[in-house]
């Protein structure tokens, strides 16, 4: 990103959420002449436009025997498209102060655009080329492939990465969520250009596209812009079916690694985002392990005993499962004690739930910090994108804090019992063998 764009983007961090309230954001739903929809927060304070977009699909649509296709493609869409080879494409982005990136998640394939308003039409053309006419030429394919393989090999020596991968493999056997998004050395080495084109043709389509825009653009122009970006894509994706699942719980897995610290990670069943009790569960989990200073786990493991620098836990929701996950790191000779404390505190919290004071403090923090998610154009666009992907409705920004404030102590205690009472967690340890 050149200096002009970087300076303007930094300036935008103060131009959001009147009086510090996220509810002040005015969200418009825009329908393009070609029938695409987007959410827009129009703000002409500075001449920057941020557009975030996502295709439902992600790495869960990788071939079962070849994880890493979506991830490899995410590194290649800006490496040559249409009549521009890799160097020409990158030079054009730089000359026009355009930031354009792609990323593969488990359930979505996402793109992110930031540009000066005066270059928005040219930026739209670059997006159109990258999503509808990628070149996948040999040199960039092999270069990006080599970078990914190098990263995978580095991660094989990182205890946190090893723990995370082992955890998902154990929790989601024979399911796409158990496969690594970035793939393996063997699978990434075997991906062909035809594999990339097949994935591209199956996932990047108009009917599974979600768009959010923030900045110096009005609704009429945005409609024309998104048609220019995505109008040449196929009408329908060919995603196939991914089954709903639950993480397998109550497993204990150890991975030996000659390091002084032991990385501890855990996962267990949660609830999906469309569950009517999701907010109750979110707050319950936050009190147990999501608040850093002041959370139950932090107080018990760090403050009371000094056994770890940090410890955390929270709930997450993928398209096809809900989960609770968390972890910590500690000296290897303390790992048994820390695991026992995690298990005991989680089970006790499931039986007792939070106190009235804990719930009051959690509400204050969660509602007071919510506007911090809306402090830059990119963050606002990202929030709007996530709300759309979760099908929460355009009024969610206004309603979210009210939903939290309305929770009763009994409701949060019921959610805590639902999530934590049975203690059915899979726990992975990476480090010195337990003595």
**Percent of the chain predicted with pLDDT > 90:** 91
| DSSP H/E element including 278 | helix 278-285
Convert the pLDDT of each residue in 365-405 to its tens digit: 999 999 999 999 999 999 999 999 999 999 999 999 999 99
Q: Where are the domains of the chain?
A: 3-230, 252-431
User: 245: helix, coil or strand?
Assistant: coil
Q: What is the pLDDT of residue 115?
A: 98
Confidence bin at 240 (pLDDT 50/70/90): confident
Separation between Cα atoms, residue 97 and residue 208, nearest integer Å: 29
Given this structure, which CATH class describes domain 3-230? alpha beta
Give me the count of residues in the chain.
Answer: 435
Report the phi/psi class of residue 236: left, alpha or beta, with left for phi > 0 and alpha for psi in -120 to 50.
beta
Confidence bin at 9 (pLDDT 50/70/90): very low
Q: What is the pLDDT of residue 171?
A: 97
- What's the CA dihedral at 180, 184, 188, 191 to 10 degrees? -70
Answer yes or no: is pLDDT of 10 > 50.
Answer: no
Separation between Cα atoms, residue 54 and residue 241, nearest integer Å: 18
What value does the CA radius of gyration of the chain take, rounded to a whole number of Å? 23
Tokens coding 225: 């812009």
Separation between Cα atoms, residue 163 and residue 266, nearest integer Å: 9
Confidence bin at 435 (pLDDT 50/70/90): low
Tokens coding 24: 């002040």
Answer yes or no: is pLDDT of 12 > 90.
Answer: no
Count each helix (H run) and each strand (E run) in the chain, helices first.
Answer: 16, 11
Q: Which residues have CB under 8 Å from 368's CB, separation 6+?
A: none
Convert the pLDDT of each residue in 318-343 to its tens digit: 999 999 999 999 999 999 999 999 99
Convert the pLDDT of each residue in 151-186 to its tens digit: 999 999 999 999 999 999 999 999 999 999 999 999
> Please, are residues 289 and 297 in contact by the beta-carbon 8 Å criterion?
yes
Average pLDDT of the chain?
93
Q: What is the pLDDT of residue 81?
A: 98
Average pLDDT over residues 48-70: 97
**Topology of the domain covering 252-431:** Cytochrome Bc1 Complex; Chain A, domain 1 (3.30.830)
What secondary structure does DSSP assign to 149-170, as a single string? Answer: HHHHHHHTT-HHHHHHHHHHHH
On the question of a common fold for 3-230 and 252-431, the answer reads yes
- How far apart, in Å, do the first and last CA atoms of the chain sit? 51
Convert the pLDDT of each residue in 80-109 to its tens digit: 999 999 999 999 999 999 999 999 999 999
Among the listed residues 88, 81, 165, the one whose alpha carbon sits nearest the alpha carbon of residue 125: 81
Q: What is the pLDDT of residue 393?
A: 97
Among the listed residues 144, 27, 42, the one whose alpha carbon sits nearest the alpha carbon of residue 384: 27
Convert the pLDDT of each residue in 249-297 to its tens digit: 999 999 999 999 999 999 999 999 999 999 999 999 999 999 776 799 9
Tokens coding 327: 């972890």
């Amino acid at each position: 990103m050149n200096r002009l764009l970087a300076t303007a983007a930094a300036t935008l961090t103060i131009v959001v959420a009147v009086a510090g309230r996220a509810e002040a954001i005015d969200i418009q739903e825009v329908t393009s002449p070609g029938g695409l929809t987007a959410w827009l927060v129009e703000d002409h304070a500075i001449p920057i436009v941020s557009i975030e977009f996502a295709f439902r699909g992600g790495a869960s649509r990788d071939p079962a025997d070849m994880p890493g296709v979506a991830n490899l493609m995410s590194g290649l869409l800006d490496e040559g498209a249409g009549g521009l080879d890799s160097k020409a494409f990158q030079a054009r982005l730089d000359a026009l102060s355009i930031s354009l990136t792609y990323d593969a998640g488990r359930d979505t394939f996402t793109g992110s655009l930031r540009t000066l308003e005066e270059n928005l039409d040219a930026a739209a053309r670059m997006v159109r080329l990258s999503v509808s006419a990628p070149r996948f030429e040999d040199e960039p394919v092999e270069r990006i492939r080599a970078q990914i393989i190098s990263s995978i090999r580095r991660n094989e020596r990182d205890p946190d990465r090893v723990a995370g991968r082992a955890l998902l493999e154990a929790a989601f056997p024979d399911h796409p969520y158990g496969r690594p998004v970035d793939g393996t050395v063997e699978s990434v080495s075997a991906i062909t250009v035809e594999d990339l084109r097949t994935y591209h043709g199956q996932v990047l389509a108009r009917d599974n596209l979600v768009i959010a825009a923030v900045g110096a653009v009005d609704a009429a122009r945005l409609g024309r812009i998104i048609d220019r970006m995505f109008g040449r894509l196929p009408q329908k994706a060919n995603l196939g079916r991914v089954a709903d699942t639950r993480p397998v719980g109550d497993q204990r897995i150890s991975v030996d690694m000659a390091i002084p610290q032991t990385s501890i990670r855990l996962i267990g069943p949660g609830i999906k985002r469309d569950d009517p009790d999701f907010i109750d569960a979110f707050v319950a989990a936050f009190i147990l392990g999501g608040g850093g200073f002041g959370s139950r786990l932090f107080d018990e493991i760090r403050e009371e005993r000094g056994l770890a620098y940090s410890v955390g836990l929270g709930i997450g929701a993928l398209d096809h499962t809900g989960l609770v996950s968390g972890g910590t790191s500690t000296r290897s000779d303390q790992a048994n004690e820390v695991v026992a404390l995690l298990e005991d505190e989680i089970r006790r919290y499931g039986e007792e739930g939070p106190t009235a004071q804990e719930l009051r403090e959690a509400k204050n923090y969660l509602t007071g910090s919510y506007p911090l998610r809306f402090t830059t154009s990119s963050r606002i666009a990202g929030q709007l994108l996530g709300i759309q992907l979760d099908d929460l409705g355009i009024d969610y920004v206004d309603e979210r804090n009210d939903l939290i404030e309305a929770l009763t102590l009994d409701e949060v205690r019921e959610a805590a019992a639902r999530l934590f009472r049975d203690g059915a967690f899979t726990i992975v340890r990476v480090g010195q063998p337990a003595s």
